A and B are shown apart, each in its own frame.
Chain A
Amino acid sequence: MANEIKENERLYRTEAVVIRRMNVGEADKILTIYTPEHGKLRVVAKGVRRTTSRLGGYVELFTKSRLLIAKGRNLDIVTQSEPINIYRKLREDLNLVAHASYVAELLDRLAEENIQNYPAYELLVNTFTGLNSGDDPNITIRAYELHLLSYMGYRPQLQQCVRCQAELRPVVNFFSPELGGVLCNDCGNIERRSAELSVDALKVMRHLQRTAFTDIPKLRLTDNLRRELEQAMRSYTRYLLERDLKSAEFIHTIS
């Protein structure tokens, strides 16, 4: 009995999605995982680079699984993994690998370790599920960005002007990364560090922001509009993270 209690203190179970992996030591990997109860965690998977590893195939990048983890002195250690969804297409299709990488990298950059954020976990799973089942990758990651930023406390203001609070009118407005939202036409002409945002782009952003992620319908957007949306979102994440994400660049090099 005493033994059993000890065991429970040393081991814990959690669902997890692997969002980053790095080689370490002879045959180990450090995994960055995202979990429903603990948020982002860094754990060690021992020996997974050996071809005979039992764990190897189950701790692949983007895999959702049930993990049994042992508390370690420094990093905790994965002892068992049972896959729930391996998102096969995200492993195989180069374009989807790139988009899933972006999803993972953005989450990794925005999330702090050991801070529970269940909506962010649910969003991650829904995004991977959507990408894996053939949803438009471009629109999926735009919706993902808008929802994730909300859950992380950076929800862009798309209803009123962030400077004068006036209700936004259906004219060309401006997006300001620094002020975290949209400026009305008058304020945008004064505020230098902002870029024009078309009526259609604002409409799509508002729509994606207020619709539940799993209810987002198929949208037919022109290439120009997609580019405009990407630029607006990119300027905002660049401002927040003070860097460009490599996987965003990778999406462009392969398309």
Chain B
Amino acid sequence: MKVTAEPVSRLIDELNKLPTIGPKTASRLAFYILRGSKDNAEALAQAIIDVKEKIVYCSECFNLTEQDPCPVCASRDRDRTLLCVVEEPLDVVALEKTHEFNGLYHVLHGHIDPINGIMADDLRIRELVDRVKLNDINEVILAMNPNVEGRATANYINRLLVPLGATISTLATGLPVGGDLEYADEVTLSNALKGRRLI
């Protein structure tokens, strides 16, 4: 005998497929949705359908967008000679929050990680090289995560871009704001020391 009605157990099964959601959390969420208003449930369902139907990759920077080209690539106020390469769409959000960058982006959708089976061809690297070739770009900022995989990705891209003649830079690595010096690891600290500047 089945205790849970079929539509409920189907919802639980679907929620269970999401990352970090186990069977317990899935059934709690399912019953929460069941008890909530119909409007809330419909809004959730519609939002899920919309992200799948309305979101596409920008044909220039490969960020996720509702309209192609995305607002950043379409904007007339941005510096089109400056390109910032990032791993994930969320990195664009983080960089935009700084209000310090007024160029364009290029989203790779990952980093090179052969141990986990991710190779250069799985990323938008070829598109990046074409973009630098075809457009008048003065500087490419490689804003990969400061870890082995991110660095390897940046080095790999650097090799491909050097012959094209653009200036290539990477983000500074050093101490995070709000942290204590004594807790910094030796690589971060030695990078911070190397990158010191006059005040």
B114 CB contact (under 8 Å) in A22, A25, A247: A247
- B15 close to chain A: CB less than 8 A: no
Q: Is A195 an interface residue (CB 8 A)?
A: no
Task: Write out the residue numbers on chain B whose beta carbons fall within 8 Å of the beta carbon of A83.
Answer: 185-186
Interface readout for A70-107 with B: 1 if CB under 8 Å, 0 if not? 00000000000001001010111010011001101100
B178 contact set on A, CB distance < 8 A: 52
* Complex interface: chain A residues within 8 A of B179 (CB): 52
Stretch at the interface among B64-72, B95-103, B150-158: B150-158
Q: Please indicate the chain A residues that have their CB under 8 angstroms from the CB of B151 in the complex.
A: 91-92, 97
Chain A interface size, under 10 / 10 to 19 / 20 to 34 / 35 or more: 35 or more
Q: Is the CB of A62 within 8 A of B114?
A: no
Are the C-beta atoms of B147 and A61 separated by less than 8 Å? yes
Check if B35 is an interface residue, CB within 8 A of chain A.
Answer: no
Which single member of B115, B119, B152, B186 contacts A57 (CB below 8 Å)?
B186
User: Which of these, B114, B120, B148, B186, contacts A91 with CB under 8 Å?
Assistant: B148
Chain A residues near B183: list those with CB within 8 A. 54
A230 within 8 A of B: no
User: When chains A and B are docked, how far (Å) is the Cα of A62 from the Cα of B178?
Assistant: 28
Chain B interface, number of residues (Cβ within 8 angstroms): 27
Across the interface, do B159 and A101 meet the contact criterion of CB distance under 8 Å?
no
* B135 CB, nearest partner CB in chain A, Å: 25
Given A52-B176, A92-B151, are A105 and B159 neighbors across the interface (CB < 8 Å)?
no
A180 at the interface (CB under 8 A from B): no
Task: Among B19, B115, B118, B187, point to the contact of A104 (Cβ < 8 A).
Answer: B115
Contact A56 B152 (CB under 8 A): no
* Residue ID in chain B nearest A19 by CB atoms: B115
Q: Which residues of A contact B (CB under 8 A)?
A: 19-20, 22, 24-25, 51-52, 54, 56-58, 60-62, 83, 86, 88, 90-92, 94, 97-98, 101-102, 104-105, 108, 245-247, 249-250, 253-254
